[in-house]
Chain A
Amino acid sequence: MTAPISLTHLQRLEAESIDIFREAAAEAENPVMLYSIGKDSSVMLHLARKAFHPSRPPFPLLHVDTTWKFRAMYAFRDRMARESGMELLVYHNPEAERLGINPFDHGSALHTDTWKTQGLRQALDRYGFDLAFGGARRDEEKSRAKERVFSFRSAQHRWDPKNQRPELWRLYNIRKNPGESIRVFPLSNWTELDIWQYIHSENIPIVPLYFAAERPVVERDGLLLMVDDERFPLAAGETPLSRRVRFRTLGCYPLTGAIESSADTLPAIIREMMLARTSERQGRLIDRDGSASMEKKKAEGYF
């Protein structure tokens, strides 16, 4: 018999994520995968397909949309749903739609809360999902380092950091009472570098916005914002400049800063990332309201 070779760290992470997917799907009544179109969602979708192959993953994809994503993201989302053969549910908070909530007139906090936080709760309630997979990683942000893989939410969708279930070995307690729901994070132990290396080694499709290209941008508050459609209100005398940029993280285009870069291949992106001296969330406006802001959002139900 051949002597066993040690698994690489990516193989170990992959095996653990698949394990998590299977445990969750086996015990949940009505699971769903939150699909946000970014690179983490791409990896998560890839792992889900691996976990259940040759079956299709036994759950739909849910995109809680804000109507303010990049156009390239919508195109990519629809393509991935087609290719995976999975059902895609798109949810728009009707209240946000009626009021025309947008990041320009209402600010990032209200925009995010209404479309995303409220929208997610509404979508989970409406479809009666009792378990939702999300792509959050523990390395993203300090309060996430203590998040469990299986994270419980009360019937009001609240997260209580003081009352988390201990997680030992690979034994996940997925029991819950009626009305309670679970958020499951199969990528908990992945780092940003792991994600990129895995995308590279597995050849996983990602939104082209991650690669550098000439794009029309304006500079505001130190952020390079891409003028992705005609809804972007330009100030008097402000004209978009074409610059070679890419995105480290993707969200609503008016809230997502680009970085100047010439990295147009995965190795170039990885190299740039390893030399970079800023963390990926820095391009996001929503994290800037104080260092405990993410934890506060989570307690309120933000994913």
Chain B
Amino acid sequence: MNLSHATDAPCSADELTATPSKGLLRFITCGSVDDGKSTLIGHLLYATKTLLEDQLQALKGDSRRFGTQGEDLDFALLVDGLSAEREQGITIDVAYRFFATTRRKFIVADTPGHEQYTRNMVTGASTADLAVILVDARKGVLTQTRRHSYLVALLGIRRVVLAVNKLDLMDWSHETFAQIEHDYRDFATKIGIDHITAIPLSALRGDNMTAHSANTPWYTGPSLLHYLEDVDVDVESEGPLRMPVQWVNRPNLDFRGFAGRILGGSVKPGDRIRVLPSGKTSTVARIVTFDGDLDIAQRGQSITLTLADELDISRGDVICAARDPAGLADQFEATLIWMADTQMLPGRPYLVKLGASTLPASFGHPKYVVDVNSLDHLAARTLALNEIGVCNLTLDRAVAFDPYADNRDMGSFIVIDRFTCQTVGAGLLHFALRRSQNIHWQTVEVDKQARARQNGHKPCVLWLTGLSGSGKSTIANIVERQLHALDARTYLLDGDNVRHGLNKDLGFTAADRVENIRRIGEVAKLMVDAGLIVITAFISPFRSERRLARDMVQAGEFVEVFVDTPLTTAEQRDPKGLYRKARSGELKNFTGIDSPYEIPQAPELHIDTLTATPEEAAAAIVDYLIHTGIVRARQESAHGLPTGKPRDGDTQT
């Protein structure tokens, strides 16, 4: 084996404490299964003496036990960390490796080549300055090579090393190498990868890894390690100041500092700044650090700023150059990469974290999804795991941003599920949609309060949720009758009726169910604004959408009533014969059978239909409305409806 060490360990005191002149380079390696990616990284670790004696001993042992290289060292075993992966023989997650030469420190994101792990590659690429894309010389540019390159380009990496590996198995054919390089350039330049360096390699044997190989006299370029040591990746790009405020530093009344990391440009005392979203301006007074005040701070540094004026600034606000501030918007076109097993549902409320802000958000229907193999744009209604699509993003309020193409840190976001708290997606902002700025709320003089006064009661939504056949519609009808008798203005929105009209274009898939509830929520909201007591009777099986409907109206205006019937009872009743159809497979996506019902966690009222008759249930609901002051009991309450506490007092929130 041709294992040369690139650099000798430094020994003088100066060298020991000196920092490498070329700073830090972060790169990602991508390749298909068996392209030799782990071997390549293992070799770099070995050649830079990152690999130590005991690790080498462990590797020798492991090579005999699990290795695929006979008596030789199997470098791949060095980097396959988790035991489950080792047994499967493939890397299944992102791992970070570290090595250094006297010239540079390196952090490598090692990501798997397996087809289904787009999310890992995107994760690794998000922090990389450069990508090493491996190609097996025997196979050439594959679909997977194209996919990896597309993802790398999508995440904003413009510099790629095309590592043509295993060329020893093609007798070091210059022609093979040239053909692969040609094929690759042809494709890669089209997707925006401007800088391509192709290197002929044998990661296993060491050719052109750390020094020029005698096997490739026709190759005049650098070895892989020398290229990585030398390449300039200008991460400290010029640009206007951007600093999201992470934490407001207030040790005492005399000091008010804004702590954050500079994500664009630089800052000096005396610079004029503008704070978004407020738009207020001030001047930088000091750049405070533990090591004393700074004269200048630049992109990448974590600092604390104090300002000349007292501005109200909190976490999530962005301090920008006054003359060149970031954009401010609440609707965007974005590329979204979905990373969860449960599909993205348009209209469903998620949380989005962008800079130091986390806020409610929802996505529109994808305009298209990208087939990462052909790069074709395909129509889609949702996004599934590892799918990439372009869709509109709507945030709860306006935030500061820059397009991802201008600033990776100011134009990127992650998507968080509100209930599991998992990271379910990641995205890139392209541009703000002007639409949101052109629709102004119609200000009206007769408002909700005025209508409520005239009606003599407060408006609200009575949201009945429960399985099909639980008795929602029956109870809702009785409630409406009783409220009508109390002179309340009501409207009953019933599942079947709405589906015959407003929502007749929707089916029963999870995505359509979300849209169904969103529309009903919007209608209910308008009716609440009109001063009505709106009664809805929909299965509404998902917590997220009930939450969405709740969030559309004001606090106290949403009364969630869980009409609780065990599935077996509902199925026995089966008033419309639907369970029978669902069981026989005639009816798909039926709640309780092949589609889930998520039980409300803290409903205002919980009605157990096994113990309460529909009349008793309705009385409990009306009692609740009286008790909470939404409607008034009849004056002659002695012989009218009873007043008093709702029965399910302990389930109220």
Q: Give A contacts to B, CB under 8 Å.
A: 1-2, 4-16, 18-19, 22-23, 25-26, 49-56, 138-139, 142-146, 161-162, 164-171, 173, 175-177, 180, 188-189, 191, 193-194, 197, 200-201, 266-267, 270-271, 274-279, 282, 291-292, 295
Which one of B17, B62, B82, B261 contacts A143 once the chains associate, using CB atoms below 8 Å?
B82
Q: Is B623 an interface residue (CB 8 A)?
A: no
Are B288 and A54 touching (Cβ within 8 A)? Answer: yes
Are B19 and A9 touching (Cβ within 8 A)? Answer: yes
Q: Interface size for chain B: under 10, 10 to 19, 20 to 34, or 35 or more residues?
A: 35 or more
Query: Chain B contacts of A146 at CB under 8 A?
Result: 81-82, 93-96
Which one of A143, A164, A278 contacts B81 once the chains associate, using CB atoms below 8 Å?
A143
Given contacts A143-B81, A168-B126, A170-B261, contact A138 B98 (CB under 8 A): yes
Q: Give B contacts to A, CB under 8 Å.
A: 9-11, 13, 16-17, 19-20, 23-24, 52-55, 58, 61-62, 78-84, 86, 93-98, 100, 104-105, 107, 110, 119-120, 122-123, 126-127, 235-236, 238, 246-247, 249-251, 255, 257, 259-261, 266, 288-291, 296, 298-302, 304, 315, 339, 351, 353-354, 356, 358, 408-409, 412-414, 416, 420-423, 426
Are A12 and B300 touching (Cβ within 8 A)? Answer: yes
Which one of A7, A55, A191, A292 contacts B300 once the chains associate, using CB atoms below 8 Å?
A7
Q: Give Cα A15–Cα B301 distance, bound, in whole angstroms.
A: 5
Q: Give Cα A144–Cα B95 distance, bound, in whole angstroms.
A: 8
Please name the residue on chain B nearest to A296 by beta carbon.
Answer: B83
Are B96 and A189 touching (Cβ within 8 A)? Answer: yes
Beyond A7-B236, A146-B95, A270-B17, 16 additional contacts (C-beta under 8 Å) are A2-B296, A7-B23, A7-B298, A9-B24, A18-B261, A50-B291, A53-B289, A139-B98, A165-B423, A168-B412, A169-B408, A170-B261, A188-B96, A191-B105, A197-B19, A279-B52
Query: Chain B contacts of A25 at CB under 8 A?
Result: 247
Given contacts A4-B266, A166-B123, A168-B123, contact A177 B421 (CB under 8 A): yes
Are A175 and B426 touching (Cβ within 8 A)? Answer: no
Are B421 and A175 touching (Cβ within 8 A)? Answer: yes
Once A and B bind, how many residue pairs between them come within 8 Å at the CB atom? 205
Q: Closest CB of chain B to A69's CB: distance in Å?
A: 24
Q: Closest CB of chain A to B507's CB: distance in Å?
A: 32
Are A55 and B249 touching (Cβ within 8 A)? Answer: yes
Q: Closest CB of chain A to B125's CB: distance in Å?
A: 9
Q: Decide if the interface of chain B is mainly helix, strand, loop or mixed.
A: mixed
Which one of B95, B250, B416 contacts A173 once the chains associate, using CB atoms below 8 Å?
B416
Q: Give Cα A294–Cα B598 distance, bound, in whole angstroms.
A: 38
Are A191 and B98 touching (Cβ within 8 A)? Answer: yes
Are B236 and A4 touching (Cβ within 8 A)? Answer: yes
Q: Give Cα A13–Cα B261 distance, bound, in whole angstroms.
A: 12
Query: Chain A contacts of B107 at CB under 8 A?
Result: 189
Please name the residue on chain B nearest to A150 by beta carbon.
Answer: B423
Q: Closest CB of chain A to B359's CB: distance in Å?
A: 12
Given contacts A165-B422, A267-B17, contact A53 B288 (CB under 8 A): yes
Given contacts A51-B302, A165-B423, A193-B100, contact A6 B236 (CB under 8 A): yes
Q: Give Cα A162–Cα B92 distance, bound, in whole angstroms.
A: 9
- The 24 sampled A-B contact pairs (Cβ below 8 Å) are A4-B236, A6-B235, A8-B20, A9-B20, A9-B23, A15-B301, A26-B315, A26-B356, A50-B291, A52-B259, A53-B304, A139-B97, A145-B97, A161-B84, A165-B422, A166-B423, A169-B126, A169-B409, A171-B426, A173-B422, A177-B421, A180-B421, A189-B107, A270-B16
